[in-house]
Amino acid sequence: MRENILTPSERGLDQFANDLNPAIVGMIRSWQGDEELDVLYHRLQARKKLRGFLDSFAEALVALNARRHGCSIEVEVPTPSGKMCDLLLQRDGVKLYAHIKRLGGTKSRSQRLKISSRLRILEQIEKPWVVKIRWQEELDDEAMQFYVTETAAFIEKARLGDEHVVRDSNGSELGGVKIVAPHDEKRVSLVIGLPSGFVDESPRVGRLLHRAQKQFMPKETNIILVCTPDVEGMGDVETALFGSHVERWDEHPAKGSRVAHGRSADGFWQSNQMAESQLAGWLWFAPKHHDYQGKLWVREHCDVEPSAVILAKEIFSN
């Protein structure tokens, strides 16, 4: 029987090297023969399709960060239900069963978006909103001034969830604006969206959370990590966990406000849903970058051992 041997160009780390950070690739290559991570190294090398390779690369980034924090690591731990937990992280007797899910389908921005100083005017509007804005990159100064003026007028009268497309006198689209969340401060806080339009990825993230929950190790501390290709994905993960921002007419508004705001019932952590899920995190999946950038959420009234929460914060929050 002939052994199937991959040539160097067919191995994952070689085939997709141009899209990866060389320092991280070097560290992963050092896992060959490693007692804990050799299996993850060979899985990466055996991947021939980009999607599967990136899924495994996301697991490798988590493993790399966990090892930096002094954890021992076990890859693909079987659960009693026949599922697999991606990684078991252990340190000083504390265990975390990590389930890594990657939100695919989009690419990180490779170039910086030029931000006009005129947009700063919007941050002076005295409205307690987080506002997402987007605009066409080719706008000249006159068109940008018109976009800002129209956007400001919309923000002054808008309510939570309202969205508006700004067009010039010829009907051509200049950009858009959306009221995405209440804000604790008295002035507008801006979030920059992609010129192509606003995309709410929280439903897709929610499906990833449910898939991960089915792989939980019973009676252990499990953590779900969702990787997204853009920093804006952190907000999508938060919305998927806690629910969309909505107006609440069943509650009294805060002092000085006419309407109360809260979260809808569609969140993964809403009410008593998914009670076994107590920890969740977000990771910026940017294979060309070196630094780990992530955020951790701990569920309200979390009953996980404090030592496990501390370890999770050390590894997954920065």
- The pLDDT of residue 305 is 95
CA dist., res. 25 & res. 33, Å (int): 15
- The pLDDT of residue 24 is 92
For residue 215, the enclosing domain spans 8-107+201-316
**97 and 216 co-located in one domain:** yes
User: Which amino acid, residue 303?
Assistant: D
Q: How many domains does the chain have?
A: 2
Mean model confidence pLDDT for the chain:
85
The residue ranges of the chain whose pLDDT is under 70 are: 1-9, 105-115, 194-200, 245-264
CA dist., res. 51 & res. 40, Å (int): 16
User: Which of residues 192, 213, 229 is at a domain's end?
Assistant: 192
CA dist., res. 62 & res. 6, Å (int): 26
**175 and 290 co-located in one domain:** no
User: Token pair for residue 3?
Assistant: 């052994």
Residue 1 lies in a domain: no
- The pLDDT of residue 253 is 53
CA dist., res. 135 & res. 225, Å (int): 31
Give the CA distances from residue 318 to residues 4, 59, 88, 314, in Å, rounded to whole numbers and listed in that order. 43, 18, 21, 8
**131 and 148 co-located in one domain:** yes
- The pLDDT of residue 244 is 75
**223 and 96 co-located in one domain:** yes
**210 and 121 co-located in one domain:** no
